[in-house]
């Protein structure tokens, strides 16, 4: 009988510990209505672009943060963004055209690097500053225009992916912002 009683106690205690651990878990949806992250994302403003890649990333960020409604008229947060793009061949050849003698396109890569800073406008506090990079692979063809177009298409793909990463990081930062206090008046 004592073994059966100790087994029940062990089961009860282990169940209690498991419930305590599960109750202390702080996992919650990033875009939940209770956290107000969606509203905060819609109140983000973006600096004017300085290059074509800046423009692609900025446009995609505006679409992602506002849900297609456009940029906020009165932003509460400001994002400063600078990007740069580099294209290179994966295979190091001496010839500059990056095309094999048989005319088969050679593999290449386009790297888009973005540096951004999220600032709260009302007090000027920097909430996060980070640098992210995305690589997009391409086949570099022998024709000049096709090569330029392949690089531009890869830049666009990488810029959109970079915008997705930045939007996720903005959402994480804004979800940690304190909720505005509601003042009830009679």
CA distance 79 to 93: 40
What three-state secondary structure class fits 2? helix
Q: Looking at residues 162-173, what average pLDDT do you find?
A: 91
Of 43-52, 53-62, 95-104, 145-154, the range with the lowest mean pLDDT is 95-104
Q: Residues 69-78: pLDDT tens digits?
A: 778 778 889 9
Neighbours of 52 (CB within 10 A): 14
CA distance 51 to 83: 8
Q: Looking at residues 1-8, what average pLDDT do you find?
A: 72
Alpha helices, DSSP H, located in 24-143 = 37-42, 52-66
Q: Looking at residues 32-44, what average pLDDT do you find?
A: 71
Structure-token match 């702080």, residue found = 26
Residue 55: predicted pLDDT: 93
Nearest C-alpha neighbor of 53 from the set 81, 83, 80, 79: 83
Higher-confidence position of 186 and 47: 47
- Structural domains present in the chain: 37-92+102-175 (3.30.160.150)
CA distance 48 to 77: 14
Question: What's the DSSP call for residue 105?
Answer: B
Average pLDDT over the chain reads 81
Q: Residues 90-131: pLDDT tens digits?
A: 765 555 555 555 667 778 889 999 999 999 988 888 999 999
CA distance 87 to 108: 7
Q: pLDDT at residue 135 above 70?
A: yes
Higher-confidence position of 93 and 52: 52
Which pLDDT band, with edges at 50, 70 and 90, does 30 fall under? low
């Amino acid at each position: 009988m004592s073994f059966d009683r100790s087994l029940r106690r062990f089961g009860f205690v282990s169940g209690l510990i498991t419930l305590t651990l599960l109750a202390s878990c702080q996992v919650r949806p990033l875009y939940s209505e209770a956290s107000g992250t969606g509203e905060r994302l819609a109140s983000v403003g973006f600096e004017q672009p300085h290059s074509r890649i800046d423009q692609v990333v900025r446009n995609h960020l505006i679409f992602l943060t506002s849900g297609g409604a456009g940029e906020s008229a009165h932003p509460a947060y400001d994002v400063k963004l600078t990007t740069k793009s580099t294209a290179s061949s994966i295979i190091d050849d001496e010839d500059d055209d990056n095309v094999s003698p048989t005319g088969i396109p050679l593999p290449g890569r386009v790297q888009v690097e973005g540096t951004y800073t999220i600032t709260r406008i009302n007090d000027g506090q920097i909430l996060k500053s980070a640098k992210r990079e995305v690589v997009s692979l391409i086949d570099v063809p022998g024709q000049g225009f096709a090569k330029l177009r392949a690089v531009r298409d890869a830049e666009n793909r990488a810029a959109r992916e970079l915008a997705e990463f930045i939007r996720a990081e903005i959402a994480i930062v804004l979800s940690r912002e304190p909720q505005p206090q509601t003042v009830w008046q009679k």
